[in-house]
Amino acid sequence: QVQLVESGGGLVQAGGSLRLSCTASGRTFSNIAMAWFRQAPEKEREFVSTISYSSSNTYYSDSVKRRFTISRDNAKNTVYLRMNSLKPEDTAVYYCAAAKTRYVPIYAREYDYWGQGTQVTVSS
């Protein structure tokens, strides 16, 4: 059983930056891949980035590659998403997710635990 809570969302102008945080709690937190997904109004949930427990493996969607950076601090049970050069198209609710796997899935169905989401709004 894992609980995830996101924070760090807010309003930002195009070209600006934000850092999202997701803190995990529960009875176990070992060998868990973590990821960020996002969902904009009228759109399906979209993969953003994922990271393995050791941080040795990361993947990014093409839309955010070279702009976003995922990282984690296992001592704090926290995963981060640094978002630079934000665009209005990045506006969405961002969700943290966790999967009990040694791999780094990119599909939402592979993730077992989800946070409540944090709103990111990028103005033109």
Which pLDDT value is given to residue 101? Answer: 86
d(CA 68, CA 45): 18
The single residue listed with the structure tokens 């995990």 is 24
Do residues 40 and 92 lie in contact, with contact meaning Cβ atoms separated by under 8 Å?
yes
For each successive 10 residues of the chain (124 residues), what is the average pLDDT?
A: 94 98 82 94 96 94 97 93 98 96 92 96 96
List the beta strands (DSSP E) in the chain.
2-7, 10-13, 18-26, 33-39, 46-51, 58-60, 68-73, 78-83, 92-99, 113-114, 118-123
**42 is written with which tokens?**
């009228």
